[in-house]
Amino acid sequence: MAPALNSKSDPLHTDFCGLKLDSPIILLSGCVGFGEEYTRVEGFSNRDVGAIVLKGTTHEPRLGNAPHRVYETPMGMLNAIGLQNPGVDKVVDEILPGLDFTETRFIANVCGSTIEDYAAVTRRFDDSRIDAIEINISCPNIKEGGVSFGNDPDMSARVVEACRSQTSKPIIAKLSPNQTDIQKNAHRCIEAGADALAVINTVMGMAIDAETRRPVIGNVRGGLSGPAIKPIALLKVQQVYEIAGPRNIPIIGQGGITNATDAIEFIIAGATAIGIGTALFYDPLVCTRINAGLADYLARHELGSTSELVGALKI
């Protein structure tokens, strides 16, 4: 079990897959680059978050999709970056050594177009300082691989199983909302060796320019994130918790969280940790305010930690 970064007693300290987090907040993949972007924002501190999920990483470098890649919607954002990244060798050899592992936890995000790709990238990260590995079996930003894996429970399980064979680090399976039965997928991923689940990835969507009659996003479709998907994400977390809760499999609840009340709702639905993504683009210091709101809620309700609130939904 990894040692705590901060040994003092704090109601926000969270145990996640044996990792001691200073806060239940986890910064989501693709929103903070490779962990260094927000260190340049005045007032931001890695100590405000429990962990940072690094940008999606593939075996070989990727240039990503053609523009436009990002489009703002009334209550969210469409993105189709296409997994632009320098490849796993550069990430492990050049980027990870520059990260401060004494401040927070760092989680790799593994992507691939084949099962063999996923396994190879996982094996490379296993031989590194990374704290845990998130398996992106549901990425909607590429035309091959991710979508078919994430929407098919058996294929999802095969990917998790292949990655499990390559590492002893905690594995987090990132589940897609764009499937018929997310509970079945969750069950299969747990059986295949997932230690935790991230619920949910973005919802598929598109935008059209009425004047040109063409898609706004170069990839035609993209992943919708932000407050627009919060009700969907809450439901999926509650559904997955019915499967994961009895097995003591923790969930990262994510999708449209912008304040402490949102975070509390996700924890009540069954999330052990909460993921922040789109909100960072317009409020880089949102994590400080969410932490303060969580602490205030716990004090008002005489709760010793957020763990006492996990799955406390009354139906």
The Cα–Cα gap between 88 and 61 comes to 8
Q: How large is the average pLDDT for residues 242-267?
A: 98
Task: Compute the half-sphere exposure of residue 218: CA atoms within 13 Å on the CB side of its CA.
Answer: 11
Q: Which residue has the higher pLDDT, 105 or 152?
A: 105
Q: Hey, which residues does 252 pair with through a beta bridge?
A: 198, 273
159 band by pLDDT with thresholds 50, 70 and 90: very high
Q: Is the pLDDT of residue 240 over 60?
A: yes
- For 66-78, give the DSSP string: PSP-EEEETTEEE
| Other CB atoms within 10 Å distance of the CB of residue 221 | 17
The pLDDT of residue 138 is 67
Establish whether 287 is a catalytic residue. Answer: no
Checking if the pLDDT of 1 tops 70, the result is no
Length of the chain: 315
Q: How confident is the model at residue 45 (pLDDT cuts 50, 70, 90)?
A: confident
pLDDT digits (tens, 9 = 90+) for 133-148: 999 996 543 444 445 6
Q: Which of 77, 30, 65 is CA-nearest to residue 144?
A: 65
pLDDT at 5: 54
Checking if the pLDDT of 4 tops 70, the result is no
Instruction: Check: CB of residue 14 under 8 Å from CB of residue 251.
Output: no
Structure tokens at 312: 């406390």
- Would you call 96 helix, strand, or coil by DSSP? helix
- How does the average pLDDT of the chain come out, rounded? 92
Q: 14-61+81-206+224-309: what CATH class?
A: alpha beta
Which member of 17, 111, 139, 287 is catalytic?
A: 139
Residue 7 confidence (pLDDT): 44
Q: What does the pLDDT average to over 38-57? A: 86
B/e letters for 122-138, b = 16+ CB within 10 Å, e = fewer, are bbbbeebebbbbbbbbb
pTM of the predicted protein model? 0.94
